[in-house]
Structure 1
Amino acid sequence: MNPKQSIDISNFYIAGINYRKSDASIRGHFAISNERNAILLQSASQYQIDEFFILSTCNRTEIYGVAPSAENLIELLCTETVGDKATFQQMAYIKRGYDAINHLFSVAAGLDSQILGDYEIVGQLKLAVKLARDYNCIGAFLDRLVNIVLQASKSIKNNTQLSGGTVSVSFAAIQFLKEHVSDIATKKIVLLGTGKIGRNTCKNVVDYLATTNVTLINRTEDKAIELAETLGLGTAPYSHIEQEVAAADIVIVATNSQEPIITKAQLKHCNTKVLIDLSIPNNIEPRCKELSHITLVNVDDLSKINDATLQKRVAEIPKAKAIIQTHIHEFTDWYQMRKNVPVITAVKTKLQHMQACNLFMSYSSQFTTTATALHTEERIKKVINNMAQNMRKQNKGGCNYIEAINDFMAHSAN
């Protein structure tokens, strides 16, 4: 990141693809793992990118950043994707300035989620920004913007029903099982992956399906054991995946592998199964659907739920947008003040230099005593504060400078 670059809001871009125009298989080609993200964060300076971060979830891959153009962001992103730049551009949306800012607010609020109001995006956004900050890719502009975006998201969560009820991808998986599997208590369930989505899904299985006939498997076995002990479930080593999957009736996958960990070949001669793939890219080979004894659904299939809870969320959209606009105004005020800092600093320096000007010293000596001279810095501070307030209300360019000089001279005469 180049911390000396002046941030112009018109140079803030977002380029991304999401579920609206690309299916899970295409999005998988542009998914960015933490390892790949770290490589991109270290390469930003080669692409003239100042501040930036990448948000990669099952719904979307987006790059937000300050750059000469969106092309710089896309060039960088596609150096670490399986998919090529031409495909990305064909599917991508690009937003700039306040359009990009409004998009980020909408994403964080759950307004742009595949399931309206899905609040899991907030945790994913925080992790994305934290990783970027670790590599010095978050400066004052994005730091302030993201903080206000998260404040807006929290306000929407607390003051509307946009995320009310239990509707998310992980909960949609439970609804699907309720509707398509009978006698669930007798079924053996294997859940692969105990990250955030895996944990949420696991808890939903226990709470809403009323079964503990669940085996957890995770690469880091300690995490699976910890969750299993909390919920009274079983575990198996990661090396036992094939045997456990073969014995299961229901398999839920919430891992982050870059390649499928369950393939069609593995399932050709197994019993009837329901497979749920919550991963992007797909961690269950899509060709498994070709097997007559296999039912396979992914995040795109699960997002099509349309229940009463979701309809209530739709009614909350106007309230959420109004909250967003309030917070965008707050960011705009900060941004305008930030733009004025160089001018205000220059005026302050000029006022300090005026103390050594013979003409000013001759003028002020008519009014200034030794006691009042000690308060020069205080007078400058008052003048600068007035100037900042005036510029916030209406920036009149050079007129603000002249007014500050007159104000300072008037204070000197008092």
Structure 2
Amino acid sequence: MLHPFKAISLSFKKTPLAIRELIALDETACRHFLHTLHHDLGLSDLLVLSTCNRTEVYYASERDHSPAIIEALAQLKGLTDTDITEYYPYFDLLNTYEEAVQHLFEVAMGLDAQVVGDLQISNQVKMAYQWSADADAAGPFLHRLLHTVFFTNKRVQQETSFRDGAASTAYAALELVEELTADVANPRVLVVGLGEIGADVCRHLGDSKVFQNVTICNRTRSKADALAQECGLQVLDFERLVEGLKDADVIISSIARDEPFFTRELVERLEVLSYKFFIDLSVPRSIASEVEQVPGVLVYNIDAIQSKASAALEQRLAAVPHVRAIIAESIAGLADWAKDMLVSPLIQRMKAGLEQLRQEELDRHQKKLSAEEAKRLDDITRNLMQKVLKQRVLQLKAVCRREDAEQLIDVLSELFDLEKQPTSA
């Protein structure tokens, strides 16, 4: 085994949103959980990753600590023993180095995301790594692993089309708004209705540095207030909707109702003097088709946006084999480094053993030599030992990369009786 790296994962693949919401951890909770796992359970190489789609713990240990990790998570979230028993089947246990490493790469690259090629996940992994480093819970292996992940992510970004385009409907809508308002200084965006996609668009707008003037309006004010607080947006009273429509450059509708809310008569009352863009995210449509007959008004419906997202998704899926090939190269390089780490103690014992023999031989002849001769002999034997070791070490590392490193190390240790040697000179 290259390293006792393991992972435990609860994700959107088999866990309902209602449970993911209960388990999800914010930054404060993640940092607290790291401290608990590191100090109370004694785990190292720790990474706690929690997003809207997954909550995962990566750790290094010879034993499977998943029951204790789940119990600690349940205690942190205030869940009962009944809850623990009910939720346990939702967790995937990745108890081998190969499984855990492969999974982390696929998560970080966006292969394991709801929207393939998710742009946000790599930043979320970076934040999780920073929290681990801050907690002194990241060992040499995790440092190497995460830096390899980040380098791989950069290669995927530069060498493939895996991150190109907007592959989710909400993100495609945001991209469309950016295109429509490219020539508008400080565009005013109004989101009316907070359906699932509309709420996601609000989150993207809140994260965007392009849009600083975003207002949301919903018949139920409390829902709008909660989302506005989450995303840093403004709220408009529903009674003042017409006023907001007149001011907005872009109106995004996510209203759930059987008949169109925005009719031609309503939009004509807005007295549009320049272009006004309506984007309909609702099914059934909330903007009547006749609205586009109003001069200066352009309407984009959900089909146009999903078509844009589907085209991007196809492009990303086509790049998946290339992404997997890059990941495979990175994992192979990481495995070589891990094998070098396995053989490193053996090399140190070999060096210490040879150095001990060299010193013993020098001591035998010291009395017969002058100080100058003793120094010359010391220099000669040290240089000779270093030259001999350098080539042998390179050969040993190369052999361990090709063969079963653990078995080979055991054989060499027994052959040269290295267990009895000190680890340093």
Q: Does 1:30 align with 2:23?
A: yes
Mapped to 2, the partners of 1:219 and 1:134 lie a distance apart of 31
Q: Which residue matches 1:74?
A: 70
Give the letter aligned to residue 120 of structure 1.
Q
Q: Which residue matches 1:59?
A: 53
Give the letter aligned to residue 386 of structure 2.
K
Q: Which residue matches 1:188?
A: 190
Residues 293-321 of structure 1 show CA distances to partners (whole Å, capped at 9, x for unaligned) of 9xxxxxxxx99996111011111111111
Residues 110-129 of structure 1 show CA distances to partners (whole Å, capped at 9, x for unaligned) of 11111001121111000011
What are the residue-to-residue correspondences of 1:91-130 with 2, within 5 Å?
91-96=90-95, 97-130=97-130
Give how far 1:77 is off: 2.8
Give the letter aligned to residue 89 of structure 2.
Q
Q: Which residue matches 2:160?
A: 160
Q: Does 1:137 align with 2:132?
A: no
Give how far 1:13 is off: 1.2
Mapped to 1, the partners of 2:47 and 2:339 lie a distance apart of 23
- Structure 2 stretches lacking a partner, 5+ long: 179-186, 193-197, 217-224, 243-255, 263-281, 287-304, 401-407, 419-425
- Measured at CA, do residues 62 and 121 of structure 1 come closer, stay the same or move farther in structure 2, by a change above 3 Å? same
SS at match of 2:388: helix
Structure (1 or 2) with the larger CA radius of gyration: 2
TM-score scaled by structure 2?
0.63
Give how far 1:153 is off: 1.4
What are the residue-to-residue correspondences of 1:4-403 with 2, within 5 Å?
9=2, 11-44=4-37, 45-67=39-61, 68-69=63-64, 70-81=66-77, 84-96=83-95, 97-168=97-168, 170-172=170-172, 174=174, 188-189=190-191, 197-201=204-208, 203=210, 206=211, 214-215=214-215, 236=234, 307-358=310-361, 371-395=376-400, 396-397=408-409, 398-399=411-412
Give how far 1:393 is off: 2.2
Mapped to 2, the partners of 1:87 and 1:105 lie a distance apart of 29
Say which is worse superposed, 144-153 or 45-54, in terms of deviation: 45-54
Residues 355-409 of structure 1 show CA distances to partners (whole Å, capped at 9, x for unaligned) of 23249957xx9xx98535314433333333333322222243344897899xxxx
Percent of pairs with identical residues:
22
Give how far 1:348 is off: 1.3
Over aligned residue pairs, what C-alpha RMSD do you find?
4.4
Mapped to 1, the partners of 2:159 and 2:342 lie a distance apart of 32
Mapped to 1, the partners of 2:398 and 2:327 lie a distance apart of 22
Q: Which residue matches 1:283?
A: none
Count residues with an aligned counterpart. 323
- Structure 1 stretches lacking a partner, 5+ long: 1-7, 179-184, 207-211, 225-234, 250-266, 274-288, 294-301, 406-414
Residues 55-75 of structure 1 show CA distances to partners (whole Å, capped at 9, x for unaligned) of 111221111111321333333
Whether contact under 8 Å (2:168, 2:309) holds in the other structure is: no
Mapped to 2, the partners of 1:93 and 1:213 lie a distance apart of 42
SS at match of 1:316: helix
Give the letter aligned to residue 153 of structure 2.
S
TM-score scaled by structure 1?
0.65
Q: Which residue matches 2:182?
A: none
Give the letter aligned to residue 108 of structure 1.
A
Whether contact under 8 Å (1:15, 1:94) holds in the other structure is: yes
- Measured at CA, do residues 373 and 163 of structure 1 come closer, stay the same or move farther in structure 2, by a change above 3 Å? same
- Measured at CA, do residues 332 and 200 of structure 1 come closer, stay the same or move farther in structure 2, by a change above 3 Å? same
